[in-house]
Structure 1
Amino acid sequence: MKKKIGLVSALAIFMVVAANMDFSNGNGSGVNYGWFTLVPPFVSIILAFVTKNVIISLFIGIFSGAYVLHLATSNSFFAIIQAFLSVVDYALTSLADPWNAGIILQVLTIGGLIALMTKMGGAKAVASALSNKAKGPKSAQVITWILGILMFFDDYANSLIVGPVMRPVTDEKHVSREKLAFIVDATAAPIAGIALISTWVGYEVGLIKEGYEAIGQTVNAYGIFVQTLPYRFYNFLMLAFVLATILLLKEFGPMLNAEKKARNRTLYDEDELNMVSSKEIDEMEPAEGTKLSIWNMIIPIGTLIVAAFVGFYFNGYNAIIENGEAAAIAVLKASPLSLLAIQEAFGASDASIVLFQAALLASLVAMTMGVSQKTFTWGEAVDTWINGMKSLIITGAILLLAWSLSAVIRELGTAEFLVSLLSDTMPVFLLPSIVFILGSIISFATGTSYGAMGILMPLAIPLSAALSNNPDFIIITTGAVLTGAIFGDHCSPISDTTILSSMGAGADHLEHVKTQLLYAIVVAAIAIIFGFIPAGLGLSVWIVLPMALIVTVAVVYFFGKRVTQSVSEILK
């Protein structure tokens, strides 16, 4: 009760203080929201941890931002009314965006596909097969890590496929849902951001090209992208960190408690293992007498992956041919199946549409297989598919609110304010570190890596070129932008990838954020101290990166506490 009274009082104080603020620039032109630009992400994140309700927290965060926006043109009473109406407008606008609509359709369709495979016994058969390979918590986590690496081409596909596939296995081997969600999340954006062929490449390469054009240089942007890879310290260190915790069976912080609880399953309430996001699918056990076959999962998932790859190519190919640059068009026409052509096509593709199409095709394949095996009729197949979609409706709602929050943040100019606040005069060698920190803060506050990249890249490349005439220094700074933006995408509670990872793993979203946040901060600190600072001082990256990897493993070894391998060890 005291907590609720405190929250209501804090919100009331905020509204009164904001209503008495002068947001004018002082010269009669424009609006300056100052520190109030930080209100929406701050309110959303704090409320999420306090109330344990993501939807309410995001709603109030959007409302608070809209309230500040409307105070610039009206009094507090009308600002409250307009803010409520704006929340609806933001949601409608977000849903009307083709990319966002495609993502929601993709999420729902993959939920339906998972339900079909579960009903046919495919999920149970694969879980059984993997259980035979997974002899304990360590091997179950290693398999999850490897599957995450294999889903390199898209972070959304990773989050929505690996979690549901591995959840029965990790449950059986007493691995916490929080650790499963962490492994999935840590192999989603960190992998997609550095993969040579992925749905991220086009955006990253485009930003690099524009940044170099701003300093009057025409470069092979993809070549620069490849050169930045060794400087993506956070990405590589996070992958190493996850693997180290798995192989050493050591954890620390909130994750240690989650893993200890999972090992001693008697401490679990069974209801905790069936989160709202996965109840519908968990209830879809195969009908009695259904012949379990791993092909009932391998074929639909294989269809999804193959269709995604083919779709990425043709979608990107058509986009380039219709509206692309002359150089890219020439590459596609001269050698359409070359590595460079495939990279260009993947980079230009619309991942949201392609993955929705691929999931829809895979669903039709799964339905056909189930009907042919007499597992269900066509009518029952459709019912199962729709019931599976229901399991991820809450994910769609959270994504919609997260996008609406991003729109409010964009209007307030939160990212620009953070850049101006934190990018004062600094020693030259610290620029990559400062850029990484800026990218981390912006991406965490806004929940989007793309937004952080888009804000920082046009600033970072010209600034690094002005401070140093060393081409490698510009590449280091460019890498700092791209990997700093990954931090927030990986661990922000309002990041769509974080949301999808917790939903796919069946973990409580806020518990997932809480257990992985300390890990993300530790890895980011190592990336700065043992990565960007030495690299900024001119030390070779081929010395810096191995050193940082060794430090990462050492942190897990010396600061982590061993979690028992099995329940039998606990009972000794």
Structure 2
Amino acid sequence: MIMTWLKRSTRWLWLPALWAIATLACAAPGFDTPDVILQGVAFDLPITDIPEDTDPRLRLDGEPVELVRNDEGQWLAPELTIDQGISHVELTDGGGQVLAAMELSAIPAWLSLLPALLAITLALVFRQVILALFVGILMGGWILHGMDTGALFGAFADSVNVHVLEAASDSGHMSIVLFCLLIGGMVGIISRNGGTQGIARRISAVIRGRRQAQSSTALLGLAIFFDDYANALIVGNTMRAITDKMAISRAKLAYLIDSTAAPVSTIALISTWIGFQVGLISEAMDGIAEWNESAYSVFVNALPYNAYPLLALAFVFLVVWSGRDFGPMLKAERRAIGGDLQHSPLGKRETTVEEADIPTKPGVPSRAWNAIVPMLVLAGITLGGIYITGLEALGPGDHALRDIFGEGDSFSAMMWGSLAGCLVAVILTLAQRLMGMTETGHYWFEGVKSMLLPITILVMAWALANVNDALQTSEFLVAVLGDSLSPQWLPTVIFVLAAFTAFATGSSWGVMGIMMPLVVPLAWAVLSHHDLAGSAEGMPILYASVASVLAGAVWGDHCSPLADTTLLSAMASGCNLVDHVRTQLPYALLVGVVALLFGTLAVGYGIRWWLGLLAGLLVLTGVLFVFGRRASQPVSNTTAKSPETA
């Protein structure tokens, strides 16, 4: 009976196989269209399921289009451009028989800027960053879904289920999230067991004023050069109590952190940035047969032309040593001297990381090494992890230290370092009987909870960056500003393009990754057109073009409220995010304009890089001494304002 049932049941098993064979046999050629096509912006159109013996031909609005094969053997139409709303594309074989046809719909290219601009505007005007980011994501989803009434519901459904989920599921992003959570837990323990208070007392014993406190903050920012995230979190949590005691505003502390973290990381010869940047340069140089220089050599030769990070670091120490400020920063410093370390123009304090800080447990001795040892372990394990993973990536043989650090896995190393720092903090606390295991675990979790708000903002900023990527925001900006470049203006235009794109998207690494492979061949082509490629006159322009991508990306990342380093700097200093952006922006704009005029533009017109940097430094010094004032100086009657109206 069982055998009879099996025979009857297996009688129909051939049907799924037959259906699969029929489906494969009937697979027709088609087009793999991108999610969004922007008018006037080039895109690639892959073609699917073309039989091997077919000679495909493609026409766009009746005009023939050249087809090529990619590395996987797939046919595609490269660099198509649609200037009107709808175009017709038709695929035929060698005999003229139509294999596939469809209409391509393109939207106005400026729409790709709307989500980022809307998010930035709402964040600055209403001071509600999470709401601004969500509205930006929603706007991007609405554009992606077709911009009709039904598209709004699809955009709302995809806002968290697609865009935020994709941002949170990225392994690199989750490494940063876990690093921040572990750092928060470690800070929670060392804040409660007297470690951070012990550091504050040690440094306070040798710091005699506001200038020394700010100098120590800036120098510590230079010392932790290997990673910008670790820099911001360590320096902020270490120096916050000290700067509070010296009546330095939280906005000033956030500026000192933000203006040393990314600038020093992008120019350091050994850092978590170096491998990424050199890898991009190497990829961009692959298609230039006439240029045989190594990618690392190009990076090193481009460093003197990296004007913005160099001048930004110099301006930090000018501000600190002169004791002068201007604009919103001066007002913040004067309020801090009056006792208001973090002023809110809305009349009340907004929720910040500061309110989640954990005071030292009463009766616990203030021992600095309870914080110093975990931090040294954090830095040591992180550097050691980068070194070990770099050696593994390079394989056996003799390798330069810069190459080893360039190939290291910084994300894994940061995870190991933060976990080890937490473990050492727990062991020190338990060994000295400062707290029990239950209490230690409780305050570790309190430190973790203090990071939830900034991490939420961070994940949503990544989600908006994904939306911008889907909308091809960077490609649009490159298409707008990338034509008709003269060699003299090449570095300047590249800097502006990279800066604006990084400001709109909040991602310096994303901008570098998109622009470097485009800019280097473009710069070589422009110089070749003017017979300058490889010449003594042309190579400084080429190096300056490479540096302009890096410098512009750092500038945009510096100024954008959507940038991760901006968020981390505000978080670590306990400063409101929008207050940090408003107070830092005038300084970054000043340094950016000076770097543009005396760095990129001057080099384009043949001025030596060191002369340009020296002139820029003199201009920054002059502006600071002409327009800057010491916070302790009285306010003139014509400009005096109360703290409520300032």
What is the TM-score of this pair, normalised by structure 2?
0.79
1:386 aligns with 2:445: yes
Give 1:46's match in structure 2, choosing from 107, 117, 121: 121
Aligned 8 A contact 2:198 2:366 in 1: yes
Aligned 8 A contact 2:145 2:151 in 1: yes
Q: Distance in 1 between matches of 2:548 and 2:127?
A: 33
Aligned 8 A contact 1:127 1:165 in 2: yes
**Match for residue 293 of structure 1?**
367
User: Matched residue of 2:309: which SS?
Assistant: helix
1:403 aligns with 2:462: yes
Give 2:144's match in structure 1, choosing from 69, 80, 83: 69
**Match for residue 215 of structure 1?**
288
Assess, with a 3 A threshold, how the Cα gap between structure 1 residues 169 and 474 changes in structure 2: closer, same or farther: same
Q: Distance in 1 between matches of 2:149 and 2:615?
A: 58
**Match for residue 106 of structure 1?**
179
Assess, with a 3 A threshold, how the Cα gap between structure 1 residues 565 and 141 changes in structure 2: closer, same or farther: farther
Give 1:85's match in structure 2, choosing from 157, 167, 171: 157
Q: Distance in 2 between matches of 1:279 and 1:481?
A: 38
Aligned 8 A contact 1:61 1:405 in 2: yes
- Calculate the aligned-residue CA RMSD, in Å: 2.1
Deviations along 1:47-69, one digit per CA (max 9) or x if unpaired, are: 00121110010001000001011
Matches within 5 A, 1:92-491: 92-216=165-289, 217-265=291-339, 276-281=352-357, 284-318=358-392, 320=393, 328-329=394-395, 333-335=396-398, 338=399, 340=400, 342-468=401-527, 469=533, 470-491=538-559
What is the TM-score of this pair, normalised by structure 1?
0.89
Of Structure 1 and Structure 2, which has the larger fraction of its residues in helix? Answer: 1
Aligned 8 A contact 1:136 1:565 in 2: no
Aligned 8 A contact 1:273 1:506 in 2: no
Aligned 8 A contact 2:247 2:341 in 1: no
**Matched residue type, 1:79:** A
Cα deviation for residue 267 of structure 1 reads 8.7
Assess, with a 3 A threshold, how the Cα gap between structure 1 residues 269 and 513 changes in structure 2: closer, same or farther: closer
**Matched residue type, 1:530:** F
Assess, with a 3 A threshold, how the Cα gap between structure 1 residues 267 and 515 changes in structure 2: closer, same or farther: closer
Cα deviation for residue 274 of structure 1 reads 9.1
**Match for residue 608 of structure 2?**
540
User: Matched residue of 2:435: which SS?
Assistant: coil
Cα deviation for residue 279 of structure 1 reads 2.1
Assess, with a 3 A threshold, how the Cα gap between structure 1 residues 43 and 462 changes in structure 2: closer, same or farther: same
**Match for residue 10 of structure 1?**
none
Percent identical among aligned pairs is: 37
Deviations along 1:494-535, one digit per CA (max 9) or x if unpaired, are: 000000000000000000001111111111100011111111
Give 1:37's match in structure 2, choosing from 100, 103, 112: 112
Assess, with a 3 A threshold, how the Cα gap between structure 1 residues 404 and 304 changes in structure 2: closer, same or farther: same
Deviations along 1:353-400, one digit per CA (max 9) or x if unpaired, are: 321221111101000000011011122111111110000101110011
- Rg bigger for which structure? 2
Q: Distance in 2 between matches of 1:95 and 1:144?
A: 32
5+ residue gaps, structure 1, are 1-21, 321-327
**Which protein has greater RCO, CA pairs closer than 8 Å, 6+ apart?**
1
Assess, with a 3 A threshold, how the Cα gap between structure 1 residues 132 and 36 changes in structure 2: closer, same or farther: same
Q: Distance in 2 between matches of 1:118 and 1:447?
A: 31
Assess, with a 3 A threshold, how the Cα gap between structure 1 residues 235 and 65 changes in structure 2: closer, same or farther: same
**Matched residue type, 1:502:** A
Cα deviation for residue 111 of structure 1 reads 0.6
Assess, with a 3 A threshold, how the Cα gap between structure 1 residues 415 and 287 changes in structure 2: closer, same or farther: same
User: Matched residue of 1:29: which SS?
Assistant: strand
Aligned residues: 527
User: Matched residue of 1:290: which SS?
Assistant: coil
Assess, with a 3 A threshold, how the Cα gap between structure 1 residues 101 and 267 changes in structure 2: closer, same or farther: closer
5+ residue gaps, structure 2, are 1-82, 89-102, 528-532, 635-639, 641-646
Assess, with a 3 A threshold, how the Cα gap between structure 1 residues 267 and 295 changes in structure 2: closer, same or farther: closer
Q: Distance in 1 between matches of 2:633 and 2:381?
A: 39
Q: Distance in 2 between matches of 1:23 and 1:296?
A: 66
Q: Distance in 1 between matches of 2:295 and 2:194?
A: 47
Assess, with a 3 A threshold, how the Cα gap between structure 1 residues 269 and 205 changes in structure 2: closer, same or farther: closer
Q: Distance in 1 between matches of 2:241 and 2:348?
A: 14
Q: Distance in 2 between matches of 1:23 and 1:509?
A: 41
User: Matched residue of 2:179: which SS?
Assistant: helix
**Matched residue type, 1:497:** T
